Amino acid sequence: MHAKMICFVLHASAILAAGTAGLAFTLARPSAAQSPAPAASPTPSGGDGVTTIFVSGGSRSLFKIAVVPPQGEKTASSTVTETASRDFTLSNLFQVLDANSFTANLAKEGTSIDPSSWRNVGAEAVVKGVSSMRGSTVHLELRLFVVSRGSDAVLKREYDVAPSDVRSAVHQFGNEVVKYFTGTPASFGSRLVFSATTGPGQKGIFAIDSDGRGAGRLPSATNVALAPAPGPGGIYYAGELAGGGYELFKVGSPAAVFRHPGLVFGAAFGGGKMAVVIAQAGQSDIWVGSPDGANLSKVTRGGLNTHPAFGPGGQLAYVSNQDGNPQIYVDGKRISYQGTYNMAPAWCNDPEGVKILFMGREGGTWDIFSVSPSGSGIRRLTQDQGSNTYPACSPDGRSVAFFSTRGGLYMSNTQGQNQQKIANVTGESLRWE
């Protein structure tokens, strides 16, 4: 019964592949009116160096910052320099200056700066530090200088961490640097989660740091694990049971979170609530209730309704085909009209105003778009750059991550500018913790 039901739902519309974040591999012969969702992806591999690729229209002006290798312990110093440079580059706020351009006498300056020397190379800010071993821990002293404000540091922080936690300390400092300039900390040190193919008919859940490092598979209780979603105390996902059904699981637990008639194809959490996709009798609906699955009530009626996402104000975005083709809805109101196939909404608390990101098909490729929750101000973030899918927004609302057929995981600002490849990984249902 379950096998027949899922087969019917999948063949009825490819939208369910979007909502379940990875059922695309089960689709067969999609109709001419609907192109298939992006192909299933291989098991992720490690990241690589940052490569900047600019979209049409160029990039906005970036604040020029110099990252000086800290004095002292060489391994920690190298980690500090590499991590801070990468974070600032990926922030879409800074241009990190080439160390070969530095003309300052670093030995003479010590832990201070000569503003004129840095002004000569165009630096507007300088990060310096000292690293040393104290027993088995690394002691870091990191400083931020603003060239126009003279030789004294405007921000000083000290950290005592295990060698393996140096990157984490640098992320923390970088977040404070961004807060100093903008009033809001960055999201350095956060993670993204996604699903990806691990073998024939198998999928797993993966996590990767926001700087493209540390890609790894998370444990799952099933051989097919889809639609990861950050929630209370961890990551949740839809898992296929041995008999062909689907239930909601939490990473680290072998038991289903709750049981409900039908097939559970993934969830979203926000405002103390859970929204979950449940397929029954050949259609799928969004149900909303408590995070433990209690008090669920149906908020959509009929058709195929998938991929729920809670906004910062408790609004619920999702995909529905109730008007024919898959489109983006917010609290029952359709907000996407451009394109014939839109899916995978993700909220973005952009400092310039809350937006909803989504992937849309125009022609034979997928691209990333943004739109206000009311449906106004639609913007195209990618174009003529391969297929780009499954957008996610950083917790600080300044960066957009997405997969691209250009070869991996990319990041840009919320206007689609300063696009940078951060890792050689591809997958589906990308979400930012």
Look at residue 44 and tell me if it is in a domain: no
Query: Which residues, other chains included, contact 166 with Cβ-Cβ below 8 Å and sequence gap of 6+?
Result: 76, 79, 80, 83, 138, 140
Residue 43 or 146, more confident: 146
Average pLDDT over residues 271-284: 94
**What is the distance of C-alpha 255 from the center of its chain?**
27
Calculated CA dihedral for residues 118, 119, 124, 126, nearest 10 degrees: 10
Q: Can you tell me the distance from the alpha carbon of 220 to that of 268, in angstroms, rounded to the nearest whole number? A: 18
Any idea what the CATH number is for the domain that residue 81 is in? 3.40.50.10070
Residues 252 and 219: beta-carbon distance below 8 Å: yes
Q: Residue 91: inside a domain, yes or no? A: yes
Question: Residue 100 falls within a domain, yes or no?
Answer: yes
Residue 28 falls inside a structural domain: no
Alpha-carbon torsion angle 89, 94, 99, 102, nearest 10: 180
Q: How far apart are CA 402 and CA 209, in angstroms?
A: 14
Give a yes or no: residue 173 inside a domain.
yes
Average pLDDT, the chain: 87
Instruction: Give residue-wise pLDDT tens across range 201-237.
Output: 999 999 999 999 999 999 999 999 999 999 999 999 9
Does the pLDDT value for residue 301 go beyond 90? no
Contact, 396 vs 92, CB < 8 A?
A: no
pLDDT band at 303 (very low <50, low <70, confident <90, very high): confident
Q: Given this model, what pLDDT does residue 61 score?
A: 79
Looking at residue 331, its amino acid is D
Q: Is residue 285 part of a domain?
A: no
Look at residue 370 and tell me whether its pLDDT is greater than 80. yes
CB 391 within 8 A of CB 408: no
Q: Among residues 95, 154, 101, which one has the least CA distance to residue 128?
A: 154
Range of the domain at 131: 62-182
Residues 269, 230 contacting (CB under 8 angstroms): yes
Asked if residue 73 lies in contact with residue 67, where contact means CB atoms within 8 angstroms, the answer is no
Return the structure tokens found at 196: 């990806």
CA 57/CA 258 separation, integer angstroms: 49
Write the DSSP assignment of 384-397 as a string of letters.
Answer: SSS-EEEEEE-TTS
* pLDDT reported for residue 60: 58
Q: Name the helix (H) or strand (E) containing 85.
A: helix 74-90
For the chain, what is the largest distance between any 2 Cα atoms, rounded to a whole number of angstroms? 77
Task: Specify the pTM.
Answer: 0.85
pLDDT in tens, 153-167: 999 999 999 999 999
Q: Are 291 and 259 in contact (CB under 8 A)?
A: no
**pLDDT tens profile 23-80:** 232 222 223 333 344 444 444 444 444 333 333 334 457 899 999 999 999 999 999 9
**Closest C-alpha to 36, from 280, 365, 432:** 365
48 assigned to some structural domain: no
d(CA 175, CA 177): 5
Q: Which residues contact 234 (CB under 8 A, 6 or more apart)?
A: 250, 251, 252
Domains: count for the chain: 1
* Closest by CA position to 221, among listed 239, 245, 243, 206: 239
The full length of the chain comes to: 433
In a domain, 23, yes or no: no
- Give the pLDDT confidence of 74-132 residue by residue, as tens digits: 999 999 999 999 999 999 899 999 999 999 999 999 999 999 999 999 999 999 999 99
Mean pLDDT of 135-162: 97
Q: What pLDDT, on a 0 to 100 scale, did the predictor assign at position 381?
A: 96
